[in-house]
Amino acid sequence: MKLMIVDDSNIIRSRISRIMADPKLPLIEIIGTAANGTDAFALFTQERPELVTMDLTMPEMDGVECTTLLVEFNPDVKILIVSALSDKATAIEALKNGASGFLYKPFTDEELVNALLELIKE
């Protein structure tokens, strides 16, 4: 399954890549990372990942706007929002716009793996 990682933080993109590259995990191929919604959409249309981790607070195009675009392009894509924004309204807005799940920062390695595996199972 192809995974794209979207976050404006270098260390978060790197951390998610490292966690998901664990050979013990089901076959997930990381097709690339993006630091904002604009670059993410360009990469998405080119590489067609089935799975995306998406930050919300990003420059240029935020995560909710980008989620809406990705779902318009491919309604079957599974998008896990990975964000520190912990108010209910933000989670509801993201889910309304097509996100499949929400993981709050800070997260542990296990929480990320479990959240992505849940999405794959659905």
Partner 1 sequence: MSDLSEKDIEIFIEAIGGYFKQITKEAASVGVAYLAKNAFPMNDYTGMIKVSADYEGTLYFSAPSAMLRHLLTVMKEPNQSDENLLDAVGEIANTISGNARKYFGENMVISIPEKIAHLPENLDHQARPYAYVIIIKWKHYSASLIVDISRIR
List of residues contacting partner 1 (CB under 8 A): 8-12, 14-15, 18, 57-59, 83-87, 89-90, 104-108
| CB nearer partner 1, residue 28 or residue 58 | 58
| CB contact at 8 A, 86 and 69 | no
| CB nearer partner 1, residue 27 or residue 89 | 89
Provide the H-helix boundaries in the chain. 10-20, 37-47, 63-73, 88-96, 109-121
| CB nearer partner 1, residue 65 or residue 104 | 104
Instruction: Kindly state the smallest distance separating residue 114's Cβ from partner 1, in Å.
Output: 15
CA distances from 50 to 11, 25, 112 (A): 23, 16, 17
